[in-house]
Amino acid sequence: MKKTFSDKFNQPMIEVFPGEYHINNQKNIVLTTLLGSCVAVCMLDRYNQVAGINHIMISKSANTEKMLLNQDSRYGIHAMELLINGMLKKGAHRGSLRAKIFGGGKVLNLNDNGVGYANIDFAVSYLQNENIPILARDTGGEEGRKIYFFPNDFSVYLRRIEMKSYLQKTKEQEKEYVSKYKEKDTTDNLTIFD
């Protein structure tokens, strides 16, 4: 996570990277991330002024019908649970949560071309399973995205990134994230709280 000040938006800005999340109850802040095949979920409880963003990547294409039961989805489940539970701790109410989903582009050129779409399917399936309405989404395609999430009005500005050379940084971050979790012991237990 990187905290800076955006001269462009004249506000503090927090950038999240693959595997990270951030929760905030301040209005005048920008939450941002750079996406390739990863997916970001922007979430807000307008009534209680609690916002959050995460940057999710599961390591490979998964069976859509069994998405939430797949071993590779555990990192995505963990990322979503951290986001939701963190928001609840800051005063959000589960019934007031709303989401927007971005990313999942086919930009990594790995052997498994379904990583981006698996990330999209995971995020959509998870939010539907949790009964959290998805108000908007911009997913798929072959482009990367830079998103800027403004919690004060739940707007998200999106810039598409078509230049492959510009995406190199994102590709490297996402590959590093995938390899980091492939090296981990897969016997770790994950406890999900209702």
Strand positions, DSSP E, 25-167: 30-35, 39-45, 50-56, 98-103, 134-139, 144-150, 155-161
pLDDT tens digits, 150-181 = 999 999 999 998 756 555 666 676 777 767 76
Model confidence at 65: pLDDT above 60: no
How far, in Å, CA of 67 to CA of 96, rounded? 25
- What pLDDT digit, counting tens, does each position of 91-100 carry? 999 999 999 9
Domain ranges of the chain: 2-183
- Rounded to whole angstroms, the maximal C-alpha distance in the chain is 46
Q: How long, in residues, is the chain?
A: 194
**Topology classification of domain 2-183:** 60s Ribosomal Protein L30; Chain: A; (3.30.1330)
Scanning the structure block, which residue is given the tokens 């990583």? 115
Residue 81's identity, in one-letter code, is: E
Shortest CA distance to 82 belongs to which of 133, 126, 144, 33? 126
What beta strand segments (E) does 76-194 contain? 98-103, 134-139, 144-150, 155-161
Q: What is the pTM of this model?
A: 0.80
Whether the CB-CB separation of 58 and 80 falls below 8 Å is answered with no
